A = this chain, B = another copy of it.
């Protein structure tokens, strides 16, 4: 029992970054919101760095050119790194369309703590999701420029740690798969992952 408790303390001390990537509407924020209370319930310290929140607090004035997107992602990565190395479980939820930039963040944080989660969903499904219909319609009419997947590139991960098909499983099922992965890697105790 004592050993078990000690193991759990170690688990709680190991910070990590769950880095969601995927199109707008693929389910990144939904999954982040589902996972946050589950990780807290497991005794972890948790911070969610949502792309939009970060744009307000760290990246006001940045646009959606490749350079500005990269700057935004690097800033999220920098803050996630600071938090994770202090034992926080960080959930990052930003489109992060460029593979090279995600790999840069992976290098900064270290592969032992960086968990790339690909929220994979066909564009046509994303475009029907709640709150996204109008945005995609505008993007398709050319009224929204530099829209990922429509007028701007999205480079899917080649070997993400977790690959979620959000059109084929429910958010709860996806969240459970992610929790199981975290338990397998020793980031959360096995019993809370179930």
Query: Could you tell me the distance in whole angstroms from the C-beta of A47 to the nearest C-beta in chain B?
Result: 6
Q: Number of A residues whose C-beta is below 8 Å from B?
A: 15
Residue of B nearest to A45 (CB): B86
Q: Which of the segments A28-36, A71-79, A154-162 contacts the partner chain? A: A71-79
What 0/1 readout, one digit per residue, does chain A (70-91) give for beta carbons within 8 Å of chain B?
0100110011001100111000
Rounded to whole angstroms, the CA-CA distance of A79 and B86 in the bound complex is 13
- CB pair A58–B75 under 8 Å, yes or no, is yes
Of the candidates B60, B71, B74, B83, which one forms a contact with A86 in the assembled complex, judged by CB atoms under 8 Å apart? B83
Bound complex: CA A78 to CA B82 (Å): 13
A71: min CB distance to chain B, Å? 7
> Which of B71, B79, B87, B88 touches A79 (beta carbons < 8 Å)?
B79
In the complex, the answer to whether B60 meets A78 with C-beta atoms within 8 Å is no
Closest B residue to A89 by CB, please name it.
B86
Binary interface encoding of chain A residues 139-150 relative to chain B, with 1 for a CB under 8 A from any of its CBs, else 0: 000000000000
CB-defined contacts of A87 to chain B, threshold 8 Å: 45, 86-87
Q: Name which residue of chain B comes closest to A74, CB basis.
A: B57
- A75 vs B60: C-alpha distance in the bound complex, in angstroms? 10
* Residues in A lying within 8 Å of B, measured CB to CB: 45, 47, 57-58, 60, 71, 74-75, 78-79, 82-83, 86-88
A-B contact pairs, 21 of them (CB 8 A): A45-B86, A45-B87, A47-B82, A47-B86, A57-B74, A57-B75, A57-B78, A58-B58, A58-B75, A58-B78, A58-B79, A60-B71, A79-B79, A79-B82, A82-B83, A83-B83, A83-B86, A86-B86, A86-B87, A86-B88, A87-B87
Chain A to chain B: the 7 pairs with minimum beta-carbon distance, closest first: A57-B78, A45-B86, A86-B88, A58-B75, A79-B79, A47-B82, A58-B58
